[in-house]
Amino acid sequence: MNLYEHTIIARQDTSPSELKQLTEKYSKIVEKNEGEVVKTENWGLLNLSYLIKKNKKGSYIHFKIKGKGKVVEELEKNEAIDKKLLRYLTVRVKEFDLDTNYFGKKEESENKESAKN
């Protein structure tokens, strides 16, 4: 089984309920193709570096997936035709970092680091 980190960027006008539906939709696609969603993170509405389809911001959803290459092919095939999405990216990794929350509040991550030391 390969390990993948997969991120999708939805349009800025996508409602929270629609984001939840997107998350469920792509999680089901992974499971149908004999994959497993290890973790899902909603990074929230973030500024884009440049305009994409006249959008300045996008809602980021990040998946950590175990599966074969077929899973990624099926995901990307579905995402390419989804009008709610601006971009998607899949990266193959050697191992998951399940501890670090990169988009959490800075105070929380500082407290966790000081507790470890």
Coil, strand or helix: which one is 105? coil
| Cα separation, 52 vs 73, whole angstroms | 23
Local confidence band at 100 (pLDDT 50, 70, 90 cut-offs): confident
The 10s digit of each residue's pLDDT in 55-72 is 899 999 999 999 888 888
Torsion of CA 68, 74, 75, 78, to 10 degrees: 180
- The pTM (predicted TM-score) of the whole model is 0.80
pLDDT for 109 equals: 45
Residue span of the structural domain in which 94 resides: 2-116
Residues 38-58 have a mean pLDDT of 88
Percentage of the residues of the chain whose pLDDT score is greater than 70: 88
pLDDT of residue 57: 92
**Residue 65: closest CA among 98, 39, 44:** 39
Q: CATH number for the domain including 47?
A: 3.30.70.60
Residues 108-115 have a mean pLDDT of 50
Q: How many domains does the chain have?
A: 1
44 compared with 102, residue with greater pLDDT: 44
DSSP letter (8 states) at residue 9: E
Which tokens is 25 given?
């939709």
Strand (E) or helix (H) holding 32: helix 16-32
Q: Which two tokens stand for residue 78?
A: 């579905």
